[in-house]
A and B are shown apart, each in its own frame.
Chain A
Amino acid sequence: MGKITDRYAIVGVGESERSRNSGTTPLHMALDAARSALKDSGLNAQDVDGFMSYNENDSCTSHELATYLGVRPKYVKDIHGGGSSTEMLIGDAVGLIEAGILNTVLIFRSMNGSSGQRVGRGYDPDMLQGALPGGSYIIPYGSASPSQWFGMFATRHMHETGITKEHLGHVCTSFYEHAGRNPKAFLHAKPLTMEKYMDTPDISYPFNIHDSCLELDEANAIIVTSAERARDCMSKPVYIMGMSARQCHPHAHYWSDLDQVASDFVAPKVYESAGVKPEDIQVASIYDCFSWVVLRQLEAYGFAPRGEVGNFVAEGNLRMGGKLPTNTAGGMLSEGYTHGMNNVLEIVRQIRHEYKGTDRQVEGCEIGICTGWSGPDIAGAMILRN
């Protein structure tokens, strides 16, 4: 892909209701989210000729979604994926539009993540042994939950950099504070103090329940098109300045080279492709399946030097008025959970200044970063502008 800066835009975002028990199927929720994104953009369903989605065998297909929007699309694509997949599919959409194959792409993630197949609860042990690379070296030792996998990475990094449990708490309390201003956040009415955080027993040390993302029933959708076509849309386009993605580490659970996470490779590339530096970023959506993941990414993306990331969050820099207001709707820790897509919706709304005049708006933010992370092995990121 050549230089794409400012030539593509996100023109619509939308979501379904979020709940612990939707009482409906991922297809119904995906339709709600897609219709909401279409309404936001002012486009008709027939204007969309590409549909894409990612899932963990827990969703409907892009073809089903298109069918029940009454569209016969040129192209559908469903990938197996979680964190980072939103950014990677946006990259694919841009490539296909650039090649002249498609005009406008709708990307969605829909999952009954609480009432259906639940990530944090673990899976059938024998299925997991076969499904995970090196699974026979993990499952017999009782390690089957993401909180245990990510915790293993976190403990080592915390040991090396001096990050403490209280630093993890600052990530959580900052995001819960944002959820307190967002009536649609699932934990809107569940404020979290540092005292309460520190008193909460661990699930998998170093993590307690607040360090872990919510598991909810929810769908999100976004619409990507060219800057040219974006002018015909009803919404204020948010332009893509740059993107990058990377897969590394053959076996994430055997993180033998701790100094290397995929975000470290993605960071210089995403800044280079957007033509900006970390200090130009005014608002952030940082993938937050667990609190610690935010800290490691702040380090990777150059917002604070290694060893100083704990202080950076303790100084309140993730909060409104801080140096880098982050996950301003509450993030996956306290707003909702769609493997990262809800964080994309929020940064688009911030950069559009959709909350103008309220205490939720990051004042005058023009440039934002959105990151995806699926472990030390996979990362994707994009930089967006007004």
Chain B
Amino acid sequence: MEYQKPIPLKNQDNSPYWDAADRHELTLQRCDSCHEYAHPPGPSCAKCGSTDLSWVSIGDDVKATIYSYVVSYRPFLPGFQDELPLIIAQAELEKVPEVKIMCNVLECKPEDIQIGMPVQMIWQDIAEDRALPQWKPVDE
């Protein structure tokens, strides 16, 4: 069945991120002036205003810990009605802890989710040429 959920819309500022995701790779924007990561990416650095920005590959093997979460019992968007309760979380990247990526934690029961829990990025193919970074608990 066709994917019913919203698909990330590419635009001028975010397309390098989503293009890389489609190749199963995580790429983050970083400021060459203040060396801070800029996530979500933008037309210039939200920390210092510099336009000297680069894209840095974090690769395809990405680990994180859960920084915060909610357990959603209602579908507020189309496509989520059959997957409740849904865990929506922020993953703090192991290699770049200042970056928190909003995500779903898949293969995890709501009663098992907790802050500090280790997770691994997985790539969910959602259309022929599109992929969505997701996360699952790391097997102990």
Interface residues of A (CB under 8 A from B): 121-122, 125-126, 129-130, 133-145, 147-148, 151-153, 155-156, 159, 201-207, 250-251, 253-256
Contacts and interface: CB of A to CB of B under 8 A. Distances in A.
B40 A205 contact: no
A151 B88 CA distance: 10
A218 to B, nearest CB: 23
B108 interface: no
A210 to B, nearest CB: 15
A14 to B, nearest CB: 34
Given A152-B88, A156-B67, A250-B46, A145 B76 contact: yes
Contacts of B14: 134, 136-137
Contact of A137 (B7, B10, B40): B40
Interface in B41-60: 42, 46
Main secondary structure of the interface of B (DSSP, over half): loop
B125 to A, nearest CB: 13
Nearest to A138: B102
A130 B42 CA distance: 13
A133 B43 CA distance: 12
A253 B89 CA distance: 11
B99 interface: yes
A253 B101 CA distance: 10
A129 B6 CA distance: 9
Contacts of B7: 140
B98 interface: yes
Q: Of residues A137, A142, A144, which shows the largest number of chain B Cβ atoms within 10 Å of its Cβ?
A: A142
Contact of A202 (B69, B73, B77): B73
Interface in B93-124: 98-104, 110, 115
Contacts of A153: 68
A148 B70 contact: yes
A137 B110 contact: no
A156 B74 CA distance: 21
28 contacts: A122-B76, A129-B8, A130-B11, A137-B101, A137-B102, A139-B6, A139-B8, A139-B77, A141-B103, A142-B75, A142-B76, A142-B80, A145-B72, A151-B70, A152-B70, A152-B88, A153-B68, A155-B69, A202-B71, A202-B73, A204-B70, A204-B73, A204-B74, A205-B73, A254-B102, A255-B90, A256-B39, A256-B98
B18 A136 contact: yes
Contact of A254 (B40, B80, B132): B40
A126 B70 CA distance: 22
Report the 8 A-B pairs with minimum CB-CB distance, sorted nearest first. A134-B40, A156-B68, A250-B46, A151-B70, A125-B6, A205-B71, A122-B76, A145-B76
A205 B46 contact: no
Contact of A253 (B11, B46, B72, B102): B102
B98 to A, nearest CB: 6
Contacts of A133: 40
A155 B87 CA distance: 12
Q: Of residues A126, A138, A139, A143, which shows the largest number of chain B Cβ atoms within 10 Å of its Cβ?
A: A143
Contact of B72 (A134, A139, A148, A201): A148
Given A142-B80, A202-B71, A156 B99 contact: no
Q: Of residues B71, B90, B102, which shows the largest number of chain A Cβ atoms within 10 Å of its Cβ?
A: B102
Q: Of residues B5, B46, B78, B88, which shows the largest number of chain A Cβ atoms within 10 Å of its Cβ?
A: B88
B86 interface: yes
B132 A140 contact: yes
Contacts of A159: 68, 115
Contacts of B101: 137
B71 A152 contact: no
Contacts of B46: 250-251
Contacts of A147: 70
B9 interface: yes
Given A125-B6, A142-B76, A151-B70, 16 more contacts: A121-B76, A122-B76, A130-B9, A134-B39, A137-B14, A141-B88, A142-B77, A143-B88, A144-B77, A145-B72, A148-B70, A148-B72, A156-B68, A254-B39, A254-B100, A255-B90
Contacts of A155: 68-70, 115
Q: Of residues B70, B71, B75, B90, which shows the largest number of chain A Cβ atoms within 10 Å of its Cβ?
A: B70
Contacts of A136: 8-11, 14, 18, 40
Nearest to B98: A256
Contacts of B40: 133-134, 136-137, 251, 254
Given A156-B68, A204-B70, A126 B9 contact: yes
Q: Of residues A121, A148, A251, which shows the largest number of chain B Cβ atoms within 10 Å of its Cβ?
A: A148
